């Protein structure tokens, strides 16, 4: 092993390679002490650019006063929605992004992006757009990652976001100026350059798919290992024996990709899943689901399970384990190409991995396979690296009202900190509108804010729709999109 920064250390411990994964911002010229930070005009000094280094050092001790403003961190879909709504509600803000442009994970060129060449949306263009900006008619039902990026950049331009953003600026920490502070107090933000700034509040839009989760598997592996976030094309599989671990959408997409060029391709699953075709009766699956009447949960599960059994057939014939849960109890897999690859014998299903044994991998059923490359498509850690443990614990949303506003620190917001059963852009759009309207109400209409505060001090709303989610980490921040959207819309109406 070795070579690529993305390869996983033999002992599978994350910190050995995590640093290489998390993009570091380039130095950014320092603003003059106490003056407003110029936005959107930063050069990108290279690593050997002495001016950048000097500037960074000279501002290390300075505290830049940005009180009266909020800081939005990240210019992916969530950060763009935040900028759009903060502008619309006339709430002053700065926007920083560690990459060179907007787009978040959808920019495959962005350092650390988990995107791969074959990736297409799993939610349809029809139901995945921001509310004021439909995806182009010319797009297919499930746009490619490049089309999604173009869409996002057009949305950014429509709302004039780019000139307001500071690119190449990474936030390393955000904390309240005094512990236990409340509305209207201050936040201290530290940048990778060492620069420190003071804000009225912070809106994190830093995304959930940047920090890989890799299981610790006993034993030693002589081959190559990587996480799905480092996978770009199936070129690495050419003529080799590949094992993909994990049956989420990444695992299934990548298993299909490598099955075409590998000499053997295996997909290890620790449970069975429901496989949902991307089209049902000629329309995208989510459009089909939304067209019909809203059914009670038990009936919805019964109807769609029956439908999938009819359409997809007996999964056991393909070597797949039967789902150990009801439909909707875990995140759906929108992929039937994997069934096609299994049906063609280009891919073989294996159970959970039990141990690594030099050139071989041992599985839970006692079988062993010779493997050259293991790709861990085992998901991402639900962490907010800029917050200390006193503000957020990994995977825990109990401190975030609506997965969105910190319960003890009402001027701290986290956008996009959820997984859901539908396109997430319409939901982050609603989240961002709610945040901007809350901040405006805080300034202009405290009575309206009081109504929201009563909501947030009550019992946490239930966004499961009565579905018992599986007790796995990836479901820890899950919301069903319909009740979640409805709640956000209602809260927005009360503030508007
Ligand atoms: C392969 C793949 C396919 C997907 N397909 C779909 C789909 O079909 N439909 C769907 O709705 N969702 C899909 N998703 C989910 C995806 O997370 C969302 O579409 C969306 O990108 C979330 O937007 P975001 O802005 O919250 O996060 P991100 O897109 O991750 O953007 C976060 C931004 O914050 C920046 N940032 C992070 N930390 C810092 C920091 N400390 N300082 C400064 N900047 C920082 C990052 O550089 C990034 O630009 C998919 C995810 C993956 C991995
Ligand atoms: N085409 C697309 O649009 C597309 C493509 C890729 C990803 N995405 C999205 O990106 C997000 C992340 O997807 P993802 O597939 O990367 O991650 P994910 O949804 O978290 O799936 C992780 C998979 O790994 C398994 N797993 C986790 N820990 C494991 C362990 N210790 N041992 C064995 N298996 C383990 C999980 O099993 P359990 O089910 O048992 O937990 C699950 O099958 C999702 O929202 C997804 O929809 C979309």
User: In whole numbers, what is the pLDDT of the chain averaged over residues?
Assistant: 88
The residue-averaged pLDDT of 190-201 equals 97
Provide the Cα torsion 104, 105, 108, 109; round to 10°. 40
18-211+387-495 adopts what CATH topology?
A: FAD/NAD(P)-binding domain (3.50.50)
In angstroms, the CA 369 to CA 264 distance is 10
**Strand ranges for 310-352 from DSSP E:** 348-350
Predicted TM-score of the model (pTM): 0.90
* Best CA proximity match to 84, nearest among 110, 206, 93, 414: 93
Q: What CA–CA distances, in Å, run from 114 to 49, 51, 252, 332, 384?
A: 29, 32, 15, 19, 17
- Residue-wise pLDDT for 268-318, tens only, equals 999 999 999 999 999 999 999 988 888 888 999 999 999 999 999 999 999
Q: How many CB atoms lie within 10 A of CB 458?
A: 9
Ligand 2 atom 9: residue of nearest CA: 249
Total count of residues recorded for the chain: 496
Please determine, for residue 323, whether its predicted confidence score (pLDDT) is greater than 90.
yes
pLDDT for 329-344, tens place per residue? 999 999 999 999 999 9
Q: Is the pLDDT of residue 31 over 50?
A: no
The pLDDT tens digits of the residues spanning 129-169 come to 999 999 999 999 999 999 999 999 999 999 999 999 999 99
Q: What is the layout of strands, in order, in the sheet containing 201-204?
A: 165-167, 93-97, 70-73, 201-204, 412-414, 405-406, 400-401
Measured from CB, residues less than 6 Å from any atom of ligand 1 are 73-79, 96-99, 104-106, 114-115, 119, 121-123, 128, 170-171, 205-209, 250, 386, 416, 423-425
Checking phi first, is residue 11 left (phi over 0); if not, alpha (psi -120 to 50) or beta? alpha
pLDDT at residue 369 above 50? yes
pLDDT, position 180: 54
Residue intervals of the chain classified under CATH 3.50.50.60 are 18-211+387-495, 219-376
Q: Give 465 Cα–ligand 1 centroid separation in angstroms.
A: 25
DSSP-assigned states of every residue in 157-214: HHTT-GGGEEET--EEEEEESSTT--TT--EEEEETTS-EEEESEEEE---SSSSB--
- Our measurement of the distance from residue 418's CA atom to the centroid of its chain's CA atoms, rounded to an integer in Å, reads 8
Pick the more confident residue, 468 or 9: 468
Tokens encoding 239: 């003529």
Residue 126 has pLDDT above 80, yes or no: yes
The answer to whether the CB of 331 is under 6 A from ligand 2 is yes
- 219-376 under CATH 3.10.310.70, yes or no: no
Q: Which residue is closest in CA terms to ligand 1's atom 21?
A: 105
């Amino acid at each position: 092993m070795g070579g690529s920064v993305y390869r996983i250390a033999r002992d599978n411990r994350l910190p050995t390679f995590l640093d290489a994964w998390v993009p570091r911002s380039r130095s950014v010229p320092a603003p003059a002490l106490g003056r407003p930070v110029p936005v959107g005009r930063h050069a990108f000094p290279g690593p050997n650019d002495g001016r950048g280094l000097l500037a960074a050092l000279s501002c290390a001790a300075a505290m830049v006063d940005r009180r009266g403003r909020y800081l939005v961190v990240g210019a992916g879909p969530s950060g763009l929605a935040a900028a759009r709504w903060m502008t619309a509600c006339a709430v002053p803000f700065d926007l920083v992004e560690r990459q060179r442009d907007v787009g978040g994970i959808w920019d495959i060129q962005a350092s650390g992006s988990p995107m791969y060449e074959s990736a297409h949306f799993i939610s349809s263009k029809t139901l995945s757009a921001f509310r004021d900006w439909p995806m182009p008619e010319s797009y297919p039902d499930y746009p490619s990652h490049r089309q999604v990026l173009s869409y996002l950049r057009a949305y950014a331009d429509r709302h004039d976001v780019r000139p307001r953003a500071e690119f190449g600026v990474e936030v390393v920490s955000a904390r309240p100026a005094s512990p236990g502070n409340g509305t209207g107090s201050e936040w201290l933000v530290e940048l990778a350059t060492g620069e420190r700034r003071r804000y009225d509040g912070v809106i994190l839009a830093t995304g959930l798919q940047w920090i890989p989760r890799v299981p610790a598997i006993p034993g030693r592996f002589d081959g190559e290992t990587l996480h799905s976030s480092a996978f770009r094309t199936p070129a690495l599989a050419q003529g080799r024996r590949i094992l993909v671990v994990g049956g989420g959408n990444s695992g299934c997409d990548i298993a299909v990709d490598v099955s075409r060029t590998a000499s053997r391709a295996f997909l290890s699953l620790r449970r069975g899943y429901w496989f949902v075709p991307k089209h049902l009766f000629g329309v995208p699956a989510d459009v089909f689901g939304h067209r019909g009447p809203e059914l009670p949960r038990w009936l919805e599960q019964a109807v769609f399970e029956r439908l999938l059994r009819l359409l997809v057939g007996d999964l056991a014939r393909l070597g797949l384990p039967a789902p150990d849960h009801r439909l909707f109890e875990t995140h759906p897999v929108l992929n039937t190409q994997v069934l096609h690859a299994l049906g063609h014998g280009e891919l073989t299903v294996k159970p959970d991995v039990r141990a690594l044994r030099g050139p071989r991998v041992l599985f839970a059923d006692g079988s062993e396979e010779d493997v050259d490359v293991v790709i861990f498509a085992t998901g991402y850690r639900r962490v907010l690296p800029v917050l200390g443990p006193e503000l957020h614990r990994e995977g825990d949303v109990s401190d975030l009202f609506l997965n969105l506003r910190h319960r003890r620190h009402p001027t701290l917001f986290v956008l996009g900190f959820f997984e859901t059963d539908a396109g997430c852009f319409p939901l982050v759009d609603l989240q961002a509108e709610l945040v901007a309207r809350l901040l405006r109400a805080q300034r202009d209409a405290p009575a309206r804010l009081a109504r929201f505060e009563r909501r947030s001090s009550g019992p946490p709303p239930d966004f499961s729709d009565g579905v018992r989610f599986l007790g796995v980490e990836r479901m820890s921040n899950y919301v069903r999109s319909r009740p979640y959207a409805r709640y956000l819309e209602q809260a927005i109406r009360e503030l508007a």
